[in-house]
Structure 1
């Protein structure tokens, strides 16, 4: 998938991934790959800065946890993150519907 196609959508995809419950960074990367049918193979250098940006904006909260003896930062969707995600979903539905109508047009 072209990185240009992701621009502007990565934050919403991360928020959606964390919506079901707390996840650490690598689990978020794995979930994005799984949900996309393997189409998204995002490097840590793309995802971790986005996680920090979303946390700084108040859309995610984080806490340290220990999993299998490893200390990891776990991210949780905040109240403002839920509101942003709802808005982004509506914007996406409107945008993707418009693009579909334009691409299917025969006149």
Structure 2
């Protein structure tokens, strides 16, 4: 994809994934691969940043004889996600006015 994920947008997407269900790193990386060609290893600094900010918390659960670390959104994370969604909506509306609105203006 031509468009790049900014750190804030990546944070928002990780929080949105965790809001839907508790998720482990590989699962989050797979969901993000649909829109960004990120290496799984580049996701872990994002998760660490969100943990340190108090937006995510972790717990371990056994899976096929190994521990799997799950990430769960916190109340602070839900608040931050709400903020990101409002910002995204404003950004998307402004971008659409230029990208889509501009085409409509030219056709008139």
Structure 2 partner of 1:40: 36
The structure that has the greater radius of gyration is: 2
Q: Where do 5+ consecutive residues of structure 2 fail to align?
A: none
TM-score by length of 1: 0.85
Which structure dedicates a bigger proportion of its chain to helix?
Answer: 2
Q: Where do 5+ consecutive residues of structure 1 fail to align?
A: none
Query: Deviation of residue 31 (structure 1)?
Result: 2.3
TM-score by length of 2: 0.85
Structure 2 partner of 1:61: 57
Query: Deviation of residue 22 (structure 1)?
Result: 1.0
Superposed CA deviations along residues 49-76 of structure 1, whole A, max 9, x for unmatched, are: 1001000000000012111112121100
SS at match of 1:30: helix
Let me know the Cα RMSD of the aligned residues: 1.6
